[in-house]
Amino acid sequence: MNVVLNLLVGVQMLSALAMIGLILIQHGKGADMGAAFGSGSAGSLFGASGSANFLSRTTAVLAAVFFACTLLLAYFSHARPAGGGSLLERAAIGTPATPASGAAGQIPGGTSGAMPAGAPVSAPAAPVSGAGQIPNK
């Protein structure tokens, strides 16, 4: 299943990049008016109007491939049963609500026991301003 998802993402990225390139190559609607009155060259590799048809049809096919890949990726990501609904819910399920007694000893400056219920809670220190922000060498 993972290989299919990677393949779909690759096809989607390639179609998106090809669409961007083809859209940038195409002429605007007003570019044909200048060619009709003699300014600019109407002849090209595909003929007078052949490039517009070829590029627009290729862009439409790539857009259809892009949307099909997007729908398939959305279907496969929704079809997979995950523990929770979202990534945040799965992260909340995986983390314990209270730290273990040994975990607080690993925190620098922490104590190995839990904080007593009546202990005063100190406010965080105010940020230093002015010359106090310059580190000493």
Q: Is residue 30 part of a domain?
A: no
Structural domain containing residue 3: 1-24+48-80
> Per the domain annotation, does 37 fall within a domain?
no
| Integer Cα distance of 59 and 25 in angstroms | 11
In this prediction, residue 33 carries a pLDDT of 64
Whether 99 maps to a domain, the answer reads no
pLDDT at 73: 92
CB 58 within 8 A of CB 15: no
Q: Is residue 61 part of a domain?
A: yes
Give me the pLDDT at residue 38, please.
60
In this predicted structure, what is the pLDDT of residue 61? Answer: 95
Q: Is residue 69 part of a domain?
A: yes
**Is 83 a residue whose pLDDT tops 80?**
no
What is the rounded distance in angstroms from the CA atom of residue 43 to the CA atom of residue 49?
8
Count the domains in the chain: 1
Q: Residue 3 domain-assigned?
A: yes
Per-residue pLDDT tens over the stretch 56-77: 999 999 999 999 999 999 998 8
Say which DSSP state 129 is in: -
Cα distance between residue 59 and residue 18, in whole Å:
8
Return the structure tokens found at 105: 């000893």
Cα separation of 50 and 59, whole Å?
Answer: 14
Model pLDDT for residues 88-133, shown as the tens digit of each residue: 776 766 666 555 555 555 666 655 555 666 666 666 776 777 776 7
